[in-house]
Structure 1
């Protein structure tokens, strides 16, 4: 629980200034915004559903923070659900409509981190479908991978803004006791592997 509290405290940083490497005459800056958990409890899923069309729309969820997100050069959020398809469910094993990730992108979130305690909620299919959906939406992501080759080619995730590159690593403390199905990879906290 202490680790979760510590992570929650760390996740809403804004306007971190980084100096461009190799710059001699001008200072380059970027601002980074770290948003906490993007969740999908049952009530959140139901509130996004249009019961007539059976479509989902989460765009209004970000109405009050959209301007904050757009002010940052790069913004990141923790996708604390899978996008594994129906049946859509909240706690304890999350699966949300892909419309949630679409709304994240529409709000200006540049990257979703996916290694967390709910990464394996829907097994191998959930991991793979989440990755596939994020790729099809065109939003950057890191933390879970379809296999070792994908991890080796995609990690670290490097994003560049204003001539400054930022490498992002994402790890989790656990998967709620659910075994990580092979060949998928969920980045687990391990000092030997991280250093």
Structure 2
């Protein structure tokens, strides 16, 4: 009699930035759950280093000390993206030190490195014969932060911004302009090449994009939709976003899920006055035969000490409602499924 094939789980969370005397304690309420996943992925929002100097051009520079990376290993993170707008706040030395700590702890990383090739190289994690590739990019960055052929930095996806006068501007003076954003064509092509290369070494490809507008702005920028759908068009199995510090809508596009922003999972710079939200989520993908067969999320929330808590569907009903409202433009359909909310139509055909 043929044995039942093992179903694997992949868990994904949003921004992680830890600053405390006992770093692993930040995940005391969710650590066991995160470790229960066969694959656990996230965004490391800033360096964990004791080296480097502030990048003077920036308004705000932050980092966590080197101890803080132990929070990731204690919670069982397998891989993280380092492509974000705070990873180079303390320069290339801080980036190098951070990557060294991740290597020492056995946590794979993507989105940054000594040169363009390293920054665009996927983090590949293999469990039970299934290989997952994580690719990370930021669209929010200082131009000098982009990795070059022989210079360190981050993997980037650039977007142009323009402003269009609305139709009624002469009738209603002072009407705000329409903001248009478009990806650089060469970056679209690079993403296609990166995903194709990742596909050659993995069964499942996940793209993580640091994108959008923060400080309480909840709207999804045009280029986010363009980039998320393009990633799917050229082979990504799942797209997750971060940076806005709030939850944004979820789209199912061609059977693949696009989470436009997972919000802050734990964020030591949390500031409700800047529009940050405590509401967040844990994405869970079910994998069979080396393919994503279902995608769902578990509502979650940070408490007053920035500790994330997974919520049942009763305690997290407000988070579920919020996600449904922000996903309405995509006509995404959700159904309760055990302890989670499942996305209709997402997963292998």
TM-score by length of 1: 0.69
CA distance in 2, matches of 1:88, 1:101: 19
Contact map agreement 1:82 1:126 (CA 8 A) in 2: yes
Distance 1:87 1:63, change over 3 A: farther
Instruction: Report how far residue 148 of structure 1 moved.
Output: 3.7
Partner of 2:9: 31
- Are 1:102 and 2:70 counterparts? yes
CA distance in 2, matches of 1:186, 1:86: 18
Partner of 2:49: 84
CA distance in 2, matches of 1:31, 1:85: 35
Cα RMSD between the aligned structures?
2.6
- Are 1:186 and 2:154 counterparts? yes
After superposition, the C-alpha distances for 1:62-108 in whole angstroms (9 at most, x for unaligned) are: 1000121022101011100112316999x921211122211210111
CA distance in 2, matches of 1:29, 1:191: 33
Moved over 3 A (4+): 24-28, 86-89, 148-152
Matches within 5 A, 1:1-195: 27-40=5-18, 45=19, 48-49=20-21, 57-85=22-50, 92-148=60-116, 150-151=118-119, 155-175=121-141, 177=142, 179-180=144-145, 183-189=151-157, 190-195=187-192
**Which protein is richer in strand relative to its size?**
2
Instruction: Report how far residue 25 of structure 1 moved.
Output: 8.0
Q: Matched residue of 1:127: which SS?
A: helix
129-138 or 98-107, larger mean C-alpha shift: 129-138
Instruction: Report how far residue 172 of structure 1 moved.
Output: 0.9
Contact map agreement 1:75 1:111 (CA 8 A) in 2: yes
TM-score by length of 2: 0.40
Q: Matched residue of 2:47: which SS?
A: coil
Contact map agreement 1:144 1:187 (CA 8 A) in 2: yes
Instruction: Report how far residue 36 of structure 1 moved.
Output: 1.0
Instruction: Report how far residue 157 of structure 1 moved.
Output: 2.0
Distance 1:122 1:178, change over 3 A: farther
In structure 2, runs of 5+ residues without a counterpart are: 158-186, 193-349
CA distance in 1, matches of 2:97, 2:129: 33
In structure 1, runs of 5+ residues without a counterpart are: 1-23, 50-56
Q: Matched residue of 1:166: which SS?
A: strand
Contact map agreement 1:88 1:94 (CA 8 A) in 2: no
CA distance in 2, matches of 1:111, 1:85: 22
CA distance in 2, matches of 1:144, 1:150: 7
Instruction: Report how far residue 168 of structure 1 moved.
Output: 1.1
CA distance in 2, matches of 1:78, 1:124: 18
CA distance in 2, matches of 1:168, 1:72: 16
How many residue pairs align between the two structures? Answer: 155
**Which protein is richer in helix relative to its size?**
1
Which structure has more relative contact order (CA 8 Å, sep 6+)? It is 1
After superposition, the C-alpha distances for 1:109-130 in whole angstroms (9 at most, x for unaligned) are: 1112100111221122122121
Instruction: Report how far residue 34 of structure 1 moved.
Output: 0.5
